[in-house]
Structure 1
Amino acid sequence: GALYFQELSPAFLLKAKERLQPSKDIVHYSIANASYLSFEDNYFDAALHFGGINTFSEIQKCLQELVRVVKPGGKIVVGDEGIGPWLRDTEFGKIMVNSNPLIGYKIPFELIPVEARNVKVEWIMMGAFFLLEFTVGESAPVANYHVPIPSKRGGTHWSRYHGQLEGVSDETKKIAKAAAEQSAKSMAVWLEEIILSAAKKQLEE
């Protein structure tokens, strides 16, 4: 295997190189922007970034790039300052954030790529730093949305979302519920039959 070290600061990269010498592993060093990686898709088995992402101007792009270059099933770990939410308003939290504002950073959960699987978060260093870990999937999650849901409401996840029609009055809703219960059918099945029958009849006239 091989290790690849990338850093935007030449001085930081030189220091890392000095600390790793001599190394028995194959090590590659490069100066580059973490949001624009010069590697092919699915190039790495895993990727680690620590210390810096909370100052990036393109955080989402960086995370997307990490997903792009790591193979499906590979692991990505990102860490930086970011105090745990339960500590933010404590004396400890206020003192630490006052000393280093970056510790007040909030993990951008909304920017995590849709390919992320098995997402885990751990707070380290007395809760002042975080580690965000996930494995790489091949796309956004896809479920079987068409399995009938046994209930009075009935339907499937798909039909409940894509089959919505316009709203009706409260009185009509009550009558429809009562009729569906009397028929011993789920509301979804009852509505499907009633609406389909009425629509066909209307179109035939």
Structure 2
Amino acid sequence: MTGAFVRDVERLACPACGGTLVFHGQERDGRVFHGWLRCGGCGEAWAVERGMARLYREDAVRGTDRLMRVIYDGLPVLHDPLTAVLTPLLQSVTESRMRERYMRRLELEMLRPREDGQPVRVLEVGVGSGANLPLIRGALPHGQDVEVWGVDLSEGMLKHCRRRLVRGGYESVRLMMADAHALPFPDGMFDRVLHVGGIGGYREPARALAEMARVARPGTPLVVVDEQLDPAFRPSLLQRAAFRAITFYSRDPHCPRELLPRGAVSVIEEQVAPFYYCLSFRMADGSSSAAERTTP
């Protein structure tokens, strides 16, 4: 079981209005299993099926969001092997080295217990098959109790991620289906936020960035990684063709630094591989970063 614990429900927020959710249904091993998460504010009900909460509106998944979900649902088993093989072949850098370069920006080793008594929490938006989860676990301070949350819109990738977690003996990971444009969490819930490989194809990347900033505690690192051709890189015809193939969804795949929400500070943009940028930033105390909660 890798869904949210029943005790976690009170920590969630309705994606439509930000209201408090209450679980009605069956639980298994202390986690939600089948039923509904109902909002006490707007009355919206969100399904829970076989341990997976579905905290998004299907009619909001449109355009490139819908297209990319179809693609990811169709290749969950092939995704990781293809990434491992093609990354060094096309970019002359290993997948592990690329991941190490952006993971260090999360500063996970600096995590300490929260003064307010709340658990330390890490969120990965677009968790996919969970390839970053072993790196997150390995970088956490020894003995530090940390909750790791992962959200994604691809059911196929989340199923693959679940299998990875079961094989790896992960116990503190919560997975759920959610839309990055309307994250089902209250303001300032997370001590670290990570997103890799999807924002360039989002229908509203500025809104997604604002949502990631909203759910992060002020002053804590947020890290966003996606495709951008390194201007210092001189690609071959094969490499240029490969880059265009993996960025077919965008005419101008680039680091969305200009879309960062108001109040973003300590902004660092860097290339972690010839095809990928890493954008890290923090939100200043008292900044107003969140997009107004409306129907996505």
Do they superpose with TM above 0.5?
A: yes
Whether the aligned pair in 1 keeps the contact of 2:226 and 2:255 (CA below 8 Å) is: no
Find 1:113's aligned residue among 233, 250, 261: 261
Q: Larger deviation: 35-44 or 16-25? A: 16-25
1:15-30 to structure 2, matched below 5 A, reads 15-21=160-166, 22-30=168-176
The equivalent residue for 2:183 is 37
Find 2:275's aligned residue among 115, 128, 144: 128
Displacement of 1:65 in angstroms is: 0.5
Find 2:208's aligned residue among 62, 68, 85: 62
Q: Which amino acid aligns with 1:80?
A: D
C-alpha RMSD over aligned residues: 2.1
Q: How many residues align?
A: 138
Secondary structure of 1:121 counterpart: strand
Displacement of 1:57 in angstroms is: 0.6
User: TM-score, normalising length from structure 1?
Assistant: 0.61
Seen in structure 2, the aligned counterparts of structure 1 residues 67 and 98 have a Cα distance that, compared at 3 Å, is: closer
Displacement of 1:19 in angstroms is: 1.0
- Which has the higher relative contact order, 1 or 2, with Cα contacts under 8 A spaced 6 or more apart? 2
Secondary structure of 2:222 counterpart: strand
Displacement of 1:139 in angstroms is: 4.9
**Structure 1 stretches lacking a partner, 5+ long:** 141-205
Q: Which has the higher helix share?
A: 1
Secondary structure of 1:40 counterpart: coil
Verify: 1:3 aligned to 2:148, yes or no: yes
Seen in structure 2, the aligned counterparts of structure 1 residues 76 and 85 have a Cα distance that, compared at 3 Å, is: same
Identity of aligned residues (%): 28
Find 2:199's aligned residue among 27, 31, 53: 53
**Structure 2 stretches lacking a partner, 5+ long:** 1-145, 288-296
Counterpart CA distance in 1 for 2:236 and 2:170 is 46
Find 2:285's aligned residue among 117, 138, 142: 138
Determine which structure has more spread, i.e. the larger CA radius of gyration. Answer: 1
Counterpart CA distance in 2 for 1:98 and 1:79 is 17
Counterpart CA distance in 2 for 1:132 and 1:23 is 31
Could you report, residue by residue, the CA deviation over 1:127-160 in whole angstroms, capped at 9, with x for unpaired residues? 11111111221356xxxxxxxxxxxxxxxxxxxx
Counterpart CA distance in 2 for 1:123 and 1:18 is 31
